[in-house]
Each structure stands twice: as C-alpha cells, then as structure tokens.
Amino acid sequence: MKKNDLAMIILIVSVSLVSSFFVVRSILGEPKNAKVKVEVVESISPDISQPSSAIFNKGALNPTVVIQIGNPANKQPFSGN
C-alpha cells in the first residue's frame, strides 16, 4: 500500500466514526435529559384491621371443606367396572 492509500483509509474511518457518533447521539438523546419516574411505596403499618363481618361470619361457606354429592359405588371412575 502506498502512503496515500493509508491516509485515505484513516480519513474515511475517522469521518465515519465522527458521523456515526453524532447520528447515534441524535437518535438516543443525551443521558442527562432522560427522566425516570420512581414509584413511592407506602410504609407497612403494624396495625391489623378487623375483616368485614359480611364476609367473615359463622354462617359463611367454608371453601376448604370437601363436598361429596351422593355415595358413589365406583371408587375408580375410569377403571371400566
């Protein structure tokens, strides 16, 4: 390679680096202009409030109790018997 070819390559690389720097900076913007909103979390209080008596009462249904309808004779439903 001649000196002129090497100088031309260096010039092209430097111009492309400078132009790409400004293009990327214009697309992404400057970091100091970026604003972030942070959600503020309320503190947890140690006080416990009483649950609603309309939902939690002695006459309410208990969803954890197993409900059996009838008396099934077949204990294995897919056994073929």
Task: Judge whether 58 lies within some domain.
Answer: no
Task: Judge whether 35 lies within some domain.
Answer: no
Q: What is the DSSP letter of 80?
A: -
Task: Judge whether 62 lies within some domain.
Answer: no
Coarse DSSP helix, strand, coil percentages of the chain, rounded to the nearest 5 percent: 35, 0, 65
Q: What is the DSSP letter of 63?
A: T
* pLDDT at residue 79, as a whole number: 62
pLDDT (tens place) for every residue of the chain, 81 residues total: 788 899 999 999 999 999 999 999 888 877 776 678 889 998 888 888 888 888 788 887 777 877 777 776 666 666 655
Q: Determine the structural domain holding residue 18 and report its residue range.
A: 3-29
Task: Judge whether 9 lies within some domain.
Answer: yes
Cβ–Cβ < 8 Å for 81, 74: yes
The number of folded domains in the chain is 1
pTM over cut 0.85:
no
